[in-house]
Structure 1
Amino acid sequence: MITRRLCVIACCFFVVIPSVMAESNPFRVLHVMSYHKTWKWNIEQFQGFKDGIGDIEVEYQIIELDTKRDSSQKSIQEKVAQTHQVIETWKPNLLYINDDNAQKYVSHALVNSDLPVVFSGVNRDPSEYDFLGSSNVTGVLEHEHFVPTVNLVQSLSPNISKIAVIVDSDPTWKGVMTRMRANSKHLRNIEVTEWILVKTFDEYKQVIERLQTQVDSIALLGIFNLKNQNGKDVPYEEVLKWTVKNSQLPDFSFWESRVNSGTLAAVAVSGYDQGYIAGQMAKKILVENIKPSEIDIRPSYKGVPMISLPRAKALGLNPNVQVLLNNTIKRSYTWGQ
């Protein structure tokens, strides 16, 4: 009898131990970013994701498509091939993928596959990537704070009535412009008079110089895919540095990196919040076994109002104490003075 009981106990141990061992293995998460991992926007999203996923054990691999510094098709396709190779050999449990270019080149091809996909930082309508109704994709949309940003600029420069919007050739801006057009009806006594596509840095300079006498403010959206005379992408810091030194129009955008480099103001989308919500989604998929299709795609809502004080002074604007107390103030440019 004792021998039989020992056998039963031993069998129970052999059943339980493999299950415990399986749970102790780290989850494998492949993180594919549209840009580069040293850029603050990506750092914030990734940190938010890790905090959102919590204290479960995770092993990460990172692939940078780096499309803001090098938008050539050759470079992008090489990294896309690398991504698919890692998926094939490493077999991640989940793909965390951020911003629009990575959706276009990577996750779109994985719709309805067996690999769960969680995205963040997506500006375009998710239907354009076939995400809506898919079995394996969910994530966080990046909806800019257009009206609050314009209101912030108006608090600095009350006489604004005409705005021009500048974009480059990146497809990201299609969704942004669609939402801006829809929300422009909520602006107070302001009209968006021009939507301008620029492809080269020289063209950008000509447009900025022309607008000095035609509008009161400029929305700087697309400033990454501007080519120099050799066909190479001009770093956005160089574009903004030139703008600071050559434009006397109050300008705005929707991201902290722009204000750091000289754009006057933004109610910035929180990269950390984008990543944190995505991390919570990933945890539900990995730990709670909830299907991605059961987790709603949604935007984040947190906005951070910020002003470049040196840019305000260069434009002859003097923010009052209330404005200074209620907004994040940037006191220098990332590229110096």
Structure 2
Amino acid sequence: MKKRVWVGLALAAVMAFSAGCSSSKVDYTISVSQYGEHPSLDATLEGFKAALKDAGLEDKKNIKIDYNSAQFEPSNSKTIAQKIANGKSDLALGIATNPALDLANTVTDRPVLFAAVTDPIEAGVVKQLQAPGGNVTGAADTNPDAIVQTMDFIAAEFPNVKTVGVIINEGEPNAVVMAKIAEEQLAKHGIKMTKKAIAKSAEVKQAADALVGKVDAIYITLDNEVVSGVSSIIEVANKNKIPFFSADRDSVEAGAFAAVGFKYYDHGYEVGQMAVEILKNGKKPGEMDVTVPQKLDFIINLKAAEAQGIEVTDKMKQYVKDQNNILQ
């Protein structure tokens, strides 16, 4: 009798174990190459995961996300791309320009998506935005109108600004493209741009200090190395009462004064929806248009304004469509 009980218990345990294994079966593996960790890129990945989860694909349950960080080192990005190419994931995601380009050049046997890439055509990630062909598509993280609107805002509301300083890593194609757009738009208003180049985030503070006394405002693009050191720019801007403008919402939330931007979480979510279409519905990346942000809005930080000696007028506030984007 005891033997039958033990056999029954053992059988039940095996069945329970088997059921547990089947419930945690991995349907898809997604390889992610992210250029490094900072709020915008991290929010992009979180949005991507959220879209998957909303479609029933959850990490560590029925999908596996193999996350890799290049720690802002171009050589690491290339190594990661080769590792992913040698692996057997179902889809690859590159977050930021370097990982996106390296994956596009290296991974040819499966779908590749990208996010947080400013100009995917200029960078060489895709040849066109509409139905790009091949195995690569994704979402660009800038709309040139956002840069133009920011420069026009500076010209209209800050008449004393004659020179805008830009801290830039010229090794990042996205930063170069955005700075060029900003410079051209400022020139239309008779405002000059002064660039201070850096190669890594540790140099951001020194670059910001070097702009003091030479510029009337500071602007940064979607430049990964620079954004990683944004706290140093905020410190310098506050100490020296220099208006500080950025190209991303996260920097404004951290302490920059204003930006025309969007939420990177939403940006990542959009790319996650693309992944769902590919994995679950069989869509081909080459037939899916590359998207650009459409929900642009002014974001201003009143606390940052006070710290930087900016008097926020009612006219400035009228630029903001959603009052939730006037940060206290």
Q: Which residue of 1 aligns with 2:6?
A: none
1:93-104 equivalences in 2 (<5 Å): 93-104=90-101
Cα distance per residue 1:16-38 (max 9 Å; x no partner): xxxxx9xx8622222221122xx
1:112-131 equivalences in 2 (<5 Å): 113-131=108-126
Is contact 1:208–1:247 with CA below 8 Å preserved after alignment? Answer: no
Choose from 280, 287, 305 the match for 1:294. Answer: 287
Count of aligned pairs: 286
Whichever residue aligns with residue 194 of structure 1, its letter is T
* Distance in 2, Cα, partners of 1:86 & 1:223: 25
Choose from 203, 207, 211 the match for 1:208. Answer: 211
Post-superposition shift, 1:292? Answer: 0.9
Post-superposition shift, 1:182? Answer: 5.4
Is contact 2:139–2:290 with CA below 8 Å preserved after alignment? Answer: yes
Post-superposition shift, 1:127? Answer: 5.0
Post-superposition shift, 1:86? Answer: 5.3
Q: Percent identity?
A: 19
Post-superposition shift, 1:271? Answer: 0.7
1:109-258 equivalences in 2 (<5 Å): 109-110=106-107, 113-132=108-127, 133-144=132-143, 145-153=146-154, 157-171=158-172, 172-181=174-183, 183-184=185-186, 189-199=189-199, 200-201=203-204, 203-211=206-214, 215-221=215-221, 225=225, 236-258=229-251
Cα distance per residue 1:108-163 (max 9 Å; x no partner): 322xx111011111013435334225510001111151122234445753443432
Choose from 264, 269, 272 the match for 2:257. Answer: 264
- Larger CA deviation: 265-274 vs 39-48: 39-48
2:43 is paired with a residue whose SS is helix
Structure 1 residues 223 and 281, CA gap change in structure 2 (3 angstroms)? closer
1:61 aligns with 2:99: no
Is contact 1:115–1:136 with CA below 8 Å preserved after alignment? Answer: yes
- What are structure 2's unaligned runs of at least 5 residues? 1-21
Structure 1 residues 283 and 254, CA gap change in structure 2 (3 angstroms)? same
TM-score, normalization by structure 2: 0.73
Q: Which residue of 1 aligns with 2:47?
A: 48
* Distance in 2, Cα, partners of 1:118 & 1:197: 30
Is contact 1:223–1:236 with CA below 8 Å preserved after alignment? Answer: no
